[in-house]
Structure 1
Amino acid sequence: MLEHYKKEYCQSVNQYIVIDLDGTVKESDDIIFTNIVGENISNIHPFFESIHVALQEENQKHVFSCIHLTNQKNETIITDIIVKTFDGKKPALVVILDLTVHYDNYQTTAQVRNESVINSQILELKNEYLQEKEVFKNAFIANFSHELRDPLTGVLTFSDILKKTNLNEEQLNYLKVIDSSSSYLKQLIEDILDISKIEAGKLELVIEPFDLRELLEDIEHLFKIKAEQKGIELITNFNDNLPAVIGGDTLRLRQVLSNLLENAIKFTEVGTVTFNVSLNQIRAQKANIHFQIVDTGIGMDKDNVDDIFTSFTQLNTSQSYNKGAGLGLAIAKHLVSLSHSVINVDSTLGEGSAFSTNINFKLDHNYKLETKKKNKVIKPKSDKKYSILLVDDSEITQLSILKILASRGNYFLDIVTRGEDVIPRIENSEFDLVLMDIKLPNSYGDQITKLIRQMPEREHKKVPVIALTARVFKDDLKRYKKAGINDVIKKPFDEETLITKIEEYLK
């Protein structure tokens, strides 16, 4: 039986042909091409016309690889062809090796390998492109934000100055519009920066003790006014058993709750917004607190719930609700996720929505709150005139700080706009404090501060340096501290922030 199978299935795919030196076929085993004895081999396929030159060379072997031939069944086969000549006028031998299966397998393997290499290279290029795009975007946002904050500082400063002048009622109303618009613009800038931090993985929580009820009451006071302006009611229910002092990021918690309340009031025309806060449990020195905000607004389809947490996305784009960049809920979702929690949404189109989350906070009996001085500017300990050096190239910032300090009457202000002029100015003058912009033409404030700290005279190198900047990522703050910068004032700033921070470092 084995011999029968061998005869049936083990057929040769090699053809042996004996030809004269002029190409006439003398003998053939007819394995691939049949009935060719007596024909010129060039009639079998045009390729064989090229072997006539080889036939003139005695005792030589020529190998032609990967030759595509068409057989008598009009099938394309891939072959290797061997042409062997002998001494004298002996006929030559032509061997046709049908390697179609071999070459097809090789080509398939090579194609798979090449596609894998190409796909790998494409993926690498995509990653490089995304990384470059991310770097460009973050740099653009940081620079754009910085450029916006200088004029915004001017708006806030001169708005405060105007409030202290004799204004009539109409002018005061105009000033309220300016304040409202500048506050909205400031919040947009903060939101865009937060999204940038989130996508760069640089936004982290800062856990510190804070008074929970004080925070909730501050938020309640602010949004009751906003709700009244909208003609709706804000109802608050803060349970009596809430812990007084807890450990968490008060700034980010305020941001989450404010974004959720802002969203609820925005999409509610009639009815109420209810703000509930209750204690779920206390366990292992952690308090799990439930926050819920319920509105009687326009609601949404359940299929659209996930979309509201996507950056720059707004489900309702009608003129009544199109104010805002669509960043608040995206930021809130990420901030809550940093606490290993989620925001749950229950909404019915036309009836309203309920947003809720459960967040763990630290409990520690050693927590102590610092005494806060509200709405009180520190007064200098003496009548001394303090000399301050401002390093900033923005004319708006220069004028803003000049007006603020001039209104106090306790300061002399010297201004430098270029980084290379700072050290010579300090060498020739004695300053009580330096206000240092970080981003300067052809230099950076932290680099200049390093040079100040390397100055030989003690009174010069020990002068307090406060940075004025919009760049306050965690890595930035570490870099400023390492450079010898004492403190940071974040742009845009107001009069009280500037004066309070300056006088903390005056002797």
Structure 2
Amino acid sequence: MMLETYRGKYFHPRTQFITIDNSGNVLESDNVLFSLKKGDPISTVSGFFEGLSTYFEIDEDNDIKFTCIHLENKDKKEYTCDIEFKTFAGNQPTLVIIHDFSDHYEYYQEVAQSRNESVINSQILELQNKYLKEKEDFKNTFIANFSHELRNPLTGITAFCSVLQKTDMTLEQQDYVEVIQASGDHLKNMIGDILEVSKIEVGKLTMHEELFDFQALIEVLKFTYIVKAKQKNIAFEVIFDEKIPKYIEGDKTRIKQVFENLIENALKFTTSGKITFSVKENQRRARKVNINVSVQDTGIGIPADKLDLVFNSFTQLNNSKKYAGTGLGLSIVKGLVELMEGKIAVESEEKVGSTFKLNMNFKYPINQEDTTSEQKLDNKDKSALSKEKYNILLAEDSELIQMSVLKILAQEGKFFLDIITNGEDAIESIIHNEYDLILMDIRMPGTHGDELTKMIRSLPVPNCKTVPILALTANLYDTDKKRYKKMGMTDIIEKPFDESTLLKKIYKYLK
């Protein structure tokens, strides 16, 4: 009894039964879905039935089904139905069964639409990723090519400034050369900043840990920026915690770059007062030392609503020509600090000054004796060399680089230099001459320098497998370095290079 009560309360019939004669007129209807009277044409329900008159006259047992038919009753209520026509032999009435599957089809449509949207969104995401990858590849290729084209003339400027400084010049000419050299260094730093940001953004910049004298690094920074600050009539104070280990493990170049960028930023925006560079030990644990570093200035400060923007690439909060720059320094600092798993924060007040705070962890050896050998190798005694003259091959298509290397080596008086401009001549020259060292431009016309190196290493000629081959390049992604090494290159000289850098690398590999 209770079940019948529940059925009456909750069961809603969704199927209507109708019988019609062979003219399509209603004989009987239970009117579950559509209200029909005896004698009404079945087409009263929908025009769909008007085209089915041939089925009304079939004089045999048959079952005809139509699915997903849209119907509408007199109250404008819409249904999505399956319809069956059952005909019987003996001229009996045709049975029409209308099943209301509106909920079913609506759910199915939602699922299908959701699935289609998911597929479409997936395809859109795939296209977006493809577009971003192509955009990133284009940007990196452009930066690499642009950097290479800039670095060749920049190398010429840097190298010839070094050569000029060793000639007899008047004091006025010496001043001019120093101005040119300073401008070249500034341009080199800006190009380097753009490349650094690019490497950080695409995740191609990695840290190279080494054991180095941390206290000596701080001393160099102290000496350099006391002089620079004095030129601006401001004070530069260094607070260094003597408890910090003398030797630590880390990427010396990147650590120095972080400190320099922060101090340079403070110098740029400070016209009076002082800059305080503080390096203090926080704690030690498991052969790791935690260090707090801060750079505090009495400069123009940063508005509170701009603090979140200071680490964005190409962001220059003060657009005055007085504080011109690329807006990349702090972005690079943040990227490098995060790569070293450190933290950086800034506190500032307008017209009072700013304080940038770093917290970083470094490994340190228990034995604090100098165990580094790189410096000894770089400072190799030239008198220990076995030959009076060395044969050098320069594979380089830029006439400016050719002249720069020629002038630098000529001043040393220890080298015979052969110069070639393409891969075919390089192979020919190596087959007929024995060289003590090869300087190889990576972006050679035709065959690139790394591919040319691989060919040289496979030549059946004495010395080809062991001769030092130094890459001249501006492409210094880790993937590039690995490729150069895999191809058989010995080391890299980064463009633009100066006299000191070039000679140090050359002497390092001569016997």
TM-score, structure 1 as length reference:
0.92
Aligned residue identity for 1:451: M
Match of 1:308 in 2: 310
Structure 2 counterpart SS, 1:64: strand
Take 1:414 and 1:495, find their aligned partners in 2: how far apart are those partners?
18
Of 486, 490, 498, which aligns to 1:486? 490
- Tell whether the 8 Å contact from 2:380 to 2:508 is kept in structure 1 after alignment: no
- Tell whether the 8 Å contact from 1:377 to 1:496 is kept in structure 2 after alignment: no
Instruction: Give 1:183 deviation, angstroms.
Output: 0.9
Match of 1:443 in 2: 447
Take 1:281 and 1:71, find their aligned partners in 2: how far apart are those partners?
81
Shift in alpha-carbon separation, 1:17–1:284, aligned structure 2, 3 A: closer
Take 1:374 and 1:102, find their aligned partners in 2: how far apart are those partners?
80
- Tell whether the 8 Å contact from 2:45 to 2:71 is kept in structure 1 after alignment: no
Pair 1:354 & 2:343 matched? no
Match of 1:17 in 2: 18
- Aligned residues: CA RMSD: 2.5
Of 405, 408, 411, which aligns to 1:407? 411
Instruction: Give 1:408 deviation, angstroms.
Output: 3.0
Pair 1:31 & 2:32 matched? yes
Structure 1 segment 94-133 matched on structure 2, within 5 A? 94-133=96-135
* Identity of matched residues, %: 49
Take 2:18 and 2:33, find their aligned partners in 1: how far apart are those partners?
11
- Tell whether the 8 Å contact from 1:236 to 1:275 is kept in structure 2 after alignment: yes
Shift in alpha-carbon separation, 1:155–1:36, aligned structure 2, 3 A: farther
Aligned residue identity for 1:12: P
Structure 2 counterpart SS, 1:218: helix
Instruction: Give 1:380 deviation, angstroms.
Output: 8.2
Shift in alpha-carbon separation, 1:239–1:109, aligned structure 2, 3 A: closer
- Tell whether the 8 Å contact from 1:380 to 1:503 is kept in structure 2 after alignment: no
Instruction: Give 1:294 deviation, angstroms.
Output: 0.9
Shift in alpha-carbon separation, 1:34–1:430, aligned structure 2, 3 A: same
Take 1:167 and 1:157, find their aligned partners in 2: how far apart are those partners?
17
- Tell whether the 8 Å contact from 2:154 to 2:184 is kept in structure 1 after alignment: yes
Aligned residue identity for 2:282: N
Of 373, 390, 395, which aligns to 2:399? 395
Deviation by residue 1:457-494 (Cα, 9 ceiling, x = unmatched):
22344322111112223333333223222222111111
Shift in alpha-carbon separation, 1:9–1:337, aligned structure 2, 3 A: closer
Match of 2:340 in 1: 339
Instruction: Give 1:297 deviation, angstroms.
Output: 0.8
Match of 2:44 in 1: 43
Instruction: Give 1:25 deviation, angstroms.
Output: 1.9
Aligned residue identity for 2:494: K
Moved more, 73-82 or 465-474: 465-474
Instruction: Give 1:377 deviation, angstroms.
Output: 8.8
Shift in alpha-carbon separation, 1:16–1:347, aligned structure 2, 3 A: same
Structure 1 counterpart SS, 2:356: strand
Structure 2 counterpart SS, 1:83: strand
- Tell whether the 8 Å contact from 2:232 to 2:271 is kept in structure 1 after alignment: yes
Structure 2 counterpart SS, 1:305: helix
- Tell whether the 8 Å contact from 2:377 to 2:508 is kept in structure 1 after alignment: no
Match of 2:180 in 1: 178
Of 67, 73, 76, which aligns to 1:74? 76
Match of 1:138 in 2: 140
Moved more, 180-189 or 416-425: 416-425
Of 229, 232, 238, which aligns to 2:231? 229
Structure 1 segment 227-376 matched on structure 2, within 5 A? 227-321=229-323, 323-364=324-365, 365=367, 366-370=369-373
Instruction: Give 1:379 deviation, angstroms.
Output: 6.0
- Tell whether the 8 Å contact from 2:378 to 2:504 is kept in structure 1 after alignment: no
Pair 1:190 & 2:188 matched? no
Instruction: Give 1:137 deviation, angstroms.
Output: 2.5
Take 1:441 and 1:53, find their aligned partners in 2: how far apart are those partners?
82
Structure 1 counterpart SS, 2:300: coil
Moved more, 290-299 or 243-252: 243-252
Match of 2:213 in 1: 211
Aligned residue identity for 1:268: T
Moved more, 335-344 or 65-74: 335-344
Instruction: Give 1:153 deviation, angstroms.
Output: 0.6
Match of 1:430 in 2: 434
Aligned residue identity for 1:42: S
Moved more, 69-78 or 425-434: 425-434
Structure 1 counterpart SS, 2:310: helix
- Tell whether the 8 Å contact from 2:397 to 2:444 is kept in structure 1 after alignment: yes
Aligned residue identity for 1:311: S
Match of 1:152 in 2: 154
Shift in alpha-carbon separation, 1:4–1:177, aligned structure 2, 3 A: same
- Tell whether the 8 Å contact from 1:16 to 1:28 is kept in structure 2 after alignment: yes
Which blocks of at least 5 consecutive residues in structure 1 are unaligned?
A: none
Instruction: Give 1:51 deviation, angstroms.
Output: 0.9
Aligned residue identity for 1:499: L
- Tell me how many residue pairs correspond in the alignment: 506
Aligned residue identity for 2:247: V
Deviation by residue 1:259-293 (Cα, 9 ceiling, x = unmatched):
11011111112211111223334443333333221
Shift in alpha-carbon separation, 1:12–1:241, aligned structure 2, 3 A: closer
Aligned residue identity for 1:475: T
Aligned residue identity for 1:493: F
Aligned residue identity for 2:37: I
Aligned residue identity for 1:458: P
Take 1:83 and 1:188, find their aligned partners in 2: how far apart are those partners?
82
- Tell whether the 8 Å contact from 1:377 to 1:499 is kept in structure 2 after alignment: no
- Tell whether the 8 Å contact from 2:16 to 2:31 is kept in structure 1 after alignment: yes
Aligned residue identity for 2:220: D
Pair 1:417 & 2:421 matched? yes
Take 2:126 and 2:411, find their aligned partners in 1: how far apart are those partners?
59
Match of 2:470 in 1: 466
Take 2:58 and 2:40, find their aligned partners in 1: how far apart are those partners?
22
Take 1:246 and 1:380, find their aligned partners in 2: how far apart are those partners?
32
- Tell whether the 8 Å contact from 1:377 to 1:500 is kept in structure 2 after alignment: no
Take 1:336 and 1:372, find their aligned partners in 2: how far apart are those partners?
29
Match of 2:165 in 1: 163
Take 2:406 and 2:284, find their aligned partners in 1: how far apart are those partners?
52
Take 1:505 and 1:72, find their aligned partners in 2: how far apart are those partners?
97
Take 2:257 and 2:83, find their aligned partners in 1: how far apart are those partners?
79
